[in-house]
A and B are shown apart, each in its own frame.
Chain A
Amino acid sequence: MKQALFKTIALAGLLHPVLSMADAEGDQFFEKQVRPILVQRCQECHGEKKQKGGLRTDSLAHLKSGGDTGPALVPGDPEKSPIVEAVRYGNDDFKMPPKEKLPAAEIAVLEQWVKMGAPWPETAGKTAVVMEGGFTEEQRKYWCFQPLNPGEPPATGGGWARNEIDRFIAAGHAGNGLQPSAEADRAEWVRRVYFDLHGLPPSLEEIWEFEQDTRPDAHERLVDRLLASPRYGERWAQHWLDLVRYAESDGYNEDAYRPAAWPYRDWVIQSLNTDKPYDQFVREQIAGDEIDPENPAVLAGTAFLRQPVYEWNQRDARGQWDIILTDITDTTGEVFLGLSFGCARCHNHKFDPILQKDYHRLRAFFSAVHWRDDMVLATPEEKRVHAEKQAAWEAATRGVREKMETITGKPVEAAGRKALEAFSEELQGMVRKDPASRNSLETQLAGLCQRQIERFRRGYDPLKNLKDPVARDAYKALAEELKAFDPMKPAPLPEAFVATDTGREAVAVSYKTRKGRTEVAPGFLSILDPSEPVIPPLERSTGRRLALANWITRPDNPLSTRVIVNRVWQYHFGRGIVASASDFGRLGEPPSHPELLDWLARTFVQDGWSLKKLHRRILLSATYRQTARRTPDAATAKVDPSNKYLWRFNPRRLDAEQVRDALLAASGELNLKAGGPPEEGTSMRRSIYTRKKRNTQTELLQRLDAPAGFTSTAERQSTTTPIQALLFLNGEWPLERARALARRARSVEEAWLHVLGRRPTGHENQIATGFLQKRPGHTQTPGRPLSGYSAIEGVFRENTGLERLEWNTPEREGDAFTVQAVFSLESIDRNASVRTLISRWNQGKESVEGFGWSIGVTGVKSRYVAQTLIVQLVGEDENSNIAYEVVPSKIPIQLGHRYGVAVTVSCAQRVVRFRVWDLSVPETPVREAVVPHAVRQRISEGASPLVIGGLAQRAPGHQWDGKIEAIRLAEVEADLAPLETPLKKDGLKWLPGLNDPAFVVLGAGAPNAQAAKPAPMEDLCQILMNANEFFYLH
């Protein structure tokens, strides 16, 4: 054992030679500045393959001995070094590089380097001997390509170590003169392990239970219980979704919602909860369709191949497909192999032994991938039953449908033809070709075109687009007839968001080098396996992805095995053994504990690739049990400031989902329903179940660094910004959580327990109690009912006792309603603000909180017609994007006149109907306008209450100025006929003298005008939810 340890240290010494400061600086300068220039600018012609003029520039020795004309370099003397003269273009016969002079900055770098004495890192310099296959000895010996080290744990850590992990860690401590920290107390550890495994704080009962558990295996029992809970999969799936850049929308401008994306999220959660072996988990994502195409639980994994962004109206189908395959290749390299392949797409990797050829060998495994939209997630039996019912419905409705098609056939065909003709001749040819005779590339590209064409065909709406009223009526009647058969029609099977191959064959693929195009077949990293694998085609598929998946999940794959255990370690400790978890290459960081990494990888594979066993091993270690609450002494801070050797537990900020879920847990509102279609970020569901639209992320998650899903994310940022603080102090959603907590917590102590999981200290109690007591309105004052307030005559005006009325009702009016009102208006805004009659709106336009509407009269500088009645709507459009729209009536409102209006909003019909009676001028005919809009739904789901005479917040420009005598909200479905007659008193709420507790007066002159509902407890709760202790595990 002792000998093994000695070896370990010796090896570490080799990998990280101890350099003097000057050496280190010079070497760093060389690696960062000089080597890239030599590689990029010189070695194409003067390297290991070609030696023009007999010169090589890939080692110092070669440069010093030089080429045909003598030494190229004299260290320390730029003026005597031909390499400097050449790049300066100082000699007309001897200009390098010959095509184009280097940028001045690069020339300066080379000059400086020679002046410094041409430092060249020793290891690199000495081992720059070319080996067979074009790789250097150094590259071949690079740590991550070596087989897993079979070494056993060292004998260190006696007394402290709880398991093998600790012995490795103890060796690191010993080697650096570090001491481990004390154990975390029960409270610290239980909070840590709950957030870690479940992403949620422990409940008060759970804390109490653990603190009371005196059995020696209490920690073990808790870990087992947490791993068995479905909450575990919900937390750890988020890590995986970050890696595969999971999102539920397309990502370009339209950013269309992907309604069938979420089953993959549930598939990941399920896979983790059932502890599906990691090798199987990987294989099903890369090649589920080739493994078990009939099994929806396996097929669903291939949604991994559907994650790239997609632009529905891209005419350049070839370019788009290229981007998609590049994205899949890059992500596969990063996620499963921990290497940044992206650099090698255009040239051999400059730092790692990844050839351009290797990039395209990897990409070739995916060259037959086909995005399928015609598949369902169902078992063969479910499909059979569905097909039977569908056939019966089709038989029964054939006649009707054929008649409908005779009406719509031609125009739909024309729409499709027009879409087709927008593509290049070449693409049109592919689409027109018989599908059976298309090769794989033609199938892929024609498929992309076909999606667009189909969309245009579907976009033809006979009821809207048919011009002939007879045909339209006929169609309408037929549609009614067809509807009668609906009870026969089976519910559609769940759409599958998956991929397969185009067939058994793939077209040959090639890539561009400086010398032209080179054909390439699927293959693995040359440095590990230069051979060309023989891949027999499967029944319906090339078998390529299965071959790749099998190679990635080989038990002796030195990359994939290390990569996954390192990721798990990283998520537990906040930093991987290799800190750059998706880059094991030379620009990443070397492992802090290489032997531990290898030991973990080996035992992980021996344990049947079980993630839960790996978690258990890590969580029960003494290393994980250390406290984070240790301030380093001077020596520790000097030796290991970033805690690479884990002399304590790493303090961490909660990540976005942990914060959001913890807010809901503290407020008691968390809805633990599992799985299913996603919900809005404002819902009470766990964050993993909220909708992930790439262009419109949930604000709170985005502000706390949740990735948008464009590229793979291995390590999240943890940022602090003033904008974040504004959201948490003033944003409606966090505030609502504080209000809910204030309703729940009956005392200071309870507030502390819910938010921080502990009782307040005496001092804290004192501070909090003092805070509550000095606040005005310590006792809750409800909104003052209108009755008995004599100043109110129904005149709404800024800086008076009646500015606005808040209509205090839990009911929501939905997406279709009518507002009737009787009013007069004395002025309009000098600028572009809208005198608001009634609203449910806070002027937000970016988030669900802002969903709402308002009705009012435009100001002088309005971009619409000034002094006219308008409606503003904020909701979702048909793509579920947030849409704000002004719906102008163009009907003028004379100042001082008395009006009756009826405004009908109907999102279903997407029109607003305005009717306006001028009651000051008898016999004036009603003025009417019907104005279309695009907002489809959810306009009454925002955070604002109904407000009469203004907006949810005080905004003078938007303040009504005049009398509102009566107002009423009616359901739009009600027969509208009674509204045709000018408004009567009946059915309206007449405002003056109204004695209705539903109304809360908001006005400048009224008592408590500024703070209608002061709530000190709410403030206290809000501040606790902003406290560092809430955000940090430290």
Chain B
Amino acid sequence: MSCNRIDPVVSRRHFLHRAGLGFGSVALSALFGEGVHGAEARPSMPDLSKITNGKGRAKNVIFLFMEGGPSHLDTFDHKPLLNKLAGQPLPPSFRPPLTAMGETKAPLLASQRTWKQRGQSGLWISDWFERVAEHADDLAVIRSCVSDGINHAGGVCQMNTGAVFGGRPSLGAWVSYGLGTRNRNLPGFVVIKDSESTVVNGARNWGNGFMPAVHQGVEFQPTGAPIQHLENPKGVTAQRQSEKLELLRELNREYNAARPDNTELEARIRGYELACQMQAEAPEAVDLSKESEATRELYGLNRKETAVFGRNCLLARRLIERGVRFIQLYSGAGSKWDSHSKMEENHGRLTHSVDQPIAGLLSDLKARGLLGETLVIWGGEFGRTPMSEKGDGRDHNPTGFTLWMAGGGVKGGHAFGATDDLGLYAVEDRVHVHDLHATILHLLGVDHTQLIYPHKGRPERIDLNEGHVFEKIRAS
């Protein structure tokens, strides 16, 4: 389809020249997906030219979000004492936690997993992640994560935006704002869910908050047209659509010519062109038909249990290759990892559905030389309690849980921080969600204290001015 595309380089410079007049220049540079790094003219922005820390290696992020709260005690945080004390109440030496469901006096629940030390590094990983464990030496496991949200809404919101209540931009939006996009024909921040269910809090998890809408996450549908409204309306051929766009251009031409100082008008025209290019490019990005049989096998596409998340992981790799900065894949959309009862059954199924796909993604990124510049993050909004709930489940635990990273310049084969002997509270090197966000930006080469968005008189940061980079995680 013809998108009436005009030469972007020449016209861009031309626009920016005009942008010196002020009106509309922000809209335009935002539309071009220029982050702070790429901006040539940002009249309304403060001096943001010094946000690089000179240390980060990552260029992209794939955030594997296990929504509902995966149990750290049965996956990456081995606690032999838990099994010894199973059936007994929490020892009095432990401060009683505030739990979401209020079963505070329930007995401790043993982990039924088989644990082994893996790889050269000897990281403890349970048999629920046999395939991921093959990459143990690439994993930087943080066992001392802390969040403020006891409930899913607050937890998911904070892990995404830094605050337990809505209204702030998502991490992906900050990355888009800071680094810009590498492919203007695709969104800079993409979200893919593993089912039709709604993620807790809905689309505002990937919202732009107080930033321009160009930074918001765009949800991709894994089959059919990947983006909402991407397809021409029913019965409208490509030819007809392109004629309509041509008409729009013609009508706008005269209007714009009389208002040369208003670059927003040009930006709107470009918006339609980019939309048209997106129509052409996005379906190709999600078309898996050219992927080899070996690749399909690697991601688990040929088995029913792993096919869905495997496909999403493969899509993530394709999108990274095409220049998307930040991709978030939800597993268990709609709090499916939440296991207040029958945790064995629930987690058994879910870990099985993601283990092979995640391992495949790590292998594939490595084989293609992409792992060094791609930060892969695995985690949920919180972990789970050592105490049981309803006999065979675990309640939410935001006071100590595990998240791991791989690639993107992290020190693989290491575990950082620690929870207490029962895995209830983080006790060593506590890493708050704010610190995680600061660290992720750091690994992307951005000084989080300098990535500022001025809003209502406050220099806003992703970490609400509270985060510290967890420097130990960076491979030196």
Question: Is B133 located at the chain interface by the 8 A CB criterion?
Answer: no
Complex formed: what's the CA distance from A724 to B218 in Å?
12
**Quick one: CB contact mask for A640-660 with B, threshold 8 Å, 1 for yes?**
011100000011010000000
Choice from B228, B231, B241, B262 contacting A953 with Cβ under 8 Å: B231
Flag if B153 contacts A723 (CB, 8 Å): no
Chain A interface residue count: which class?
A: 35 or more
Tell me how many residue pairs across A and B have CB atoms closer than 8 Å.
266
Q: Which chain B residues lie closer than 8 Å to A764 at the CB level?
A: 251, 254
Check B200–A843 contact: CB distance below 8 A.
no
Q: Which residues of A contact B204 (CB under 8 A)?
A: 694-695, 708
Asked whether A642 lies within 8 Å of B265 as measured between CB atoms, the reply is no
Contact in complex: A641, B167 (CB < 8 Å): no
Tell me the bound Cα distance from A843 to B241 in angstroms. 22
B198 / chain A contacts, CB cutoff of 8 Å: 881-882
Is B81's CB within 8 Å of the partner chain A? no
Which of A642, A651, A846 touches B262 (beta carbons < 8 Å)? A651
Verify if A585 is at the interface (C-beta below 8 Å from B): yes
Task: Find chain A residues with CB under 8 A from B228 CB.
Answer: 726-727, 844, 846
Is A311 in the interface zone, CB < 8 Å from B? yes
Q: Which residue of B264, B275, B454 is within 8 Å of A725 (Cβ)?
A: B275
Are B458 and A861 in contact, with the CB atoms below 8 A? no
B218 near A723: Cβ-Cβ < 8 Å? yes
- B202 near A: Cβ within 8 Å? yes
Contact call A311/B248, Cβ cutoff below 8 A: no
Q: Which residues does chain A contribute within 8 Å of B264, judged by CB atoms?
A: 651, 653, 718, 720, 1032
Whether B27 and A587, one on each chain, are in contact in the complex, defined by CB atoms closer than 8 angstroms, is no
State whether A629 touches B259 (Cβ < 8 A): yes
On whether A1023 and B248 interact (CB within 8 A), knowing A580-B457, A637-B21, A721-B214, the answer reads yes
Contact check, A735 vs B233: say whether CB atoms are below 8 A apart: yes
**Interface 1/0 per residue, B109-148 and A, CB below 8 Å:** 0000000000000000000000000000000000000000
CA distance A1020 to B248 in the complex (A): 9
Q: Does A7 contact B (CB under 8 A)?
A: no
C-alpha gap A377/B80 in the complex (Å): 60
B231 touches A730 (CB 8 A): yes
In contact, B21 and A771 (Cβ under 8 angstroms): no
If A729-B272, A730-B230 touch, whether A637 touches B261 (CB-CB below 8 Å) is yes
Tell me whether B235 and A730 are in contact (CB under 8 A).
no
Closest chain-A Cβ to B160's Cβ sits at a distance in Å of 13
Closest A residue to B260 using CB positions: A631
* Complex: A631 Cα to B18 Cα, angstroms: 12
A1034 contacts B234, C-beta separation under 8 Å: no
Kindly state whether residue B187 has any CB partner on chain A within 8 Å. yes
* Interface pick from B93-101, B291-299, B424-432: B93-101
Interface residues of A in 18-56 (CB under 8 A from B): 28, 32
- Verify B247–A424 contact, CB threshold 8 A: no
Q: Is the CB of B254 within 8 A of A763?
A: yes
A634 to B42, CA, bound (A): 20
How does the 8 Å CB contact mask read for A700-741 relative to B, with 1 for contact and 0 for none? 000101001011101001111111111101111001000000
Taking the complex as formed, is A290 at the interface, i.e. its CB lies under 8 A from any CB of chain B? no
Greatest chain A CB density within 10 A among B47, B152, B268, B459 is at: B268
Instruction: Give the chain A neighbours of B84 by CB distance below 8 A.
Output: none
Closest CB of chain B to A495's CB: distance in Å? 24
Query: Given A251-B165, A315-B99, A1027-B255, does the pair A832, B449 have CB atoms closer than 8 Å?
Result: no
The answer to whether B213 touches A1011, judged by C-beta atoms less than 8 angstroms apart, is no
Q: Are A718 and B274 in contact (CB under 8 A)?
A: no
B114–chain A nearest beta-carbon distance, Å: 29
**Bound state CA distance, A1024 and B204, in angstroms?**
31
CA distance A832 to B198 in the complex (A): 19
Taken together as a complex, chains A and B put the C-alpha atoms of A1022 and B251 apart, in Å, by 12
Smallest distance from the beta carbon of A954 to chain B beta carbons, Å?
8
Complex Cα spacing A632 to B233, Å: 41
The digit string for A996-1008, where 1 denotes a CB below 8 A from any CB of B, is 0000000000000
B21 and A632 form a contact (CB under 8 A)? yes
Which residues of chain B come closer than 8 Å to A774, judged between CB atoms? 243
Does A309 sit at the interface, judged by CB under 8 A?
A: yes
Flag B375-407 by CB within 8 Å of A: 1 or 0 each. 000000000000000000000000000000000
The reply to whether the CB of B196 lies closer than 8 angstroms to some CB of chain A is yes
Whether B8 sits at the interface, judged by CB under 8 Å, is no
Q: Does any Cβ of A come within 8 Å of B232's Cβ?
A: yes
Quote the shortest CB–CB distance from B434 to chain A (angstroms).
Answer: 14
Given A721-B31, A730-B233, verify A1027-B251 contact (CB < 8 Å).
yes
Q: Which of B149-164 contact A (CB under 8 A)?
A: 150-154, 156, 164
Q: Is B240 positioned at the interface, with any CB of A under 8 Å from its CB?
A: yes
Q: Does B250 contact A (CB under 8 A)?
A: yes
Question: Are A1010 and B235 interface neighbours, CB within 8 A?
Answer: yes
With CB as the reference atom, state the residue of chain A lying closest to B219.
Answer: A846
Does A889 make an interface contact (CB < 8 A)?
no
How long is the Cα–Cα vector from A790 to B101 in the complex, in angstroms? 65
Do the beta carbons of B229 and A729 come within 8 Å of each other? yes
* A726 and B227 contact, CB distance less than 8 A: yes
Q: Is B166 positioned at the interface, with any CB of A under 8 Å from its CB?
A: yes
> What 0/1 readout, one digit per residue, does chain B (31-59) give for beta carbons within 8 Å of chain A?
10000000000010011000001000000
A298 to B163, CA, bound (A): 34
Q: Is B255 a contact partner of A583 (Cβ separation < 8 A)?
A: no
Whether the Cβ atoms of B271 and A720 lie closer than 8 Å is yes
What is the bound-complex CA distance between A843 and B195, given in angstroms? 14
B323 part of interface (Cβ distance < 8 Å): no
A1034 near B262: Cβ-Cβ < 8 Å: yes
Asked if B355 lies at the interface with its beta carbon under 8 angstroms from chain A, I say no
Complex Cα gap A254–B254 (Å): 49
**Which residue on B lies nearest to A327, using beta carbons?**
B165
Query: Chain A residues near B259 (CB, 8 Å)?
Result: 629, 631, 651, 1034
Known pairs A729-B272, A831-B223; A1023 contacts B166 (CB<8 A): no
Residue B11 interfacial (CB < 8 Å): no
Tell which of B101, B247, B275, B304 touches A1023, judged by Cβ atoms closer than 8 Å. Answer: B247
CB pair B102 A421 closer than 8 Å: yes
Contact with B along A760-802 (1 / 0, CB 8 A): 0101100110010011000000000000000000000000000
**CB contact between B31 and one of A309, A637, A720 (< 8 Å): that residue:** A720
B152, A253: Cβ atoms closer than 8 Å: yes
| CB-defined contacts of A882 to chain B, threshold 8 Å | 198
- What residues of A have a CB within 8 angstroms of the CB of B233 in the complex? 729-730, 732, 735
User: Of residues 984 to 1034 in A, which have CB atoms within 8 Å of B's CB atoms?
Assistant: 1010-1014, 1019-1020, 1022-1024, 1026-1029, 1031-1032, 1034
Residues of B within 8 A of A (CB): 20-23, 27, 30-31, 43, 46-47, 53, 98-103, 150-154, 156, 164-167, 187, 195-198, 200-204, 207, 210-214, 216, 218, 223-224, 227-237, 240-241, 243-245, 247-248, 250-252, 254-256, 258-262, 264-265, 267-272, 274-275, 277-279, 304, 307-308, 447, 449-450, 454, 456-459
| Contacts beyond the supplied A642-B23, A1011-B236: 18 A-B pairs with Cβ under 8 Å | A252-B154, A253-B200, A313-B151, A315-B150, A339-B457, A342-B458, A580-B456, A632-B261, A643-B23, A717-B210, A722-B274, A723-B275, A726-B230, A729-B272, A832-B223, A846-B203, A1010-B237, A1014-B235
Q: 24 A-B Cβ contacts within 8 A?
A: A32-B47, A255-B201, A311-B153, A323-B164, A343-B458, A580-B457, A587-B454, A629-B259, A642-B23, A703-B213, A708-B204, A711-B210, A719-B214, A722-B275, A723-B187, A729-B229, A771-B247, A775-B240, A833-B223, A1011-B235, A1023-B247, A1027-B248, A1028-B268, A1029-B252
The 9 A-B residue pairs with the shortest CB-CB distance in the complex, in nearest-first order: A422-B102, A583-B457, A710-B167, A253-B153, A641-B22, A725-B275, A722-B274, A252-B153, A340-B457
> Chain A residues in contact with chain B, CB under 8 A?
28, 32, 103, 105, 251-255, 309, 311, 313-316, 323, 334, 339-340, 342-343, 421-424, 580, 582-583, 585, 587-588, 629, 631-632, 637, 641-643, 650-651, 653, 694-696, 703, 705, 708, 710-712, 714, 717-727, 729-732, 735, 761, 763-764, 767-768, 771, 774-775, 831-833, 843-846, 861, 863, 881-882, 884, 886, 952-955, 957, 1010-1014, 1019-1020, 1022-1024, 1026-1029, 1031-1032, 1034
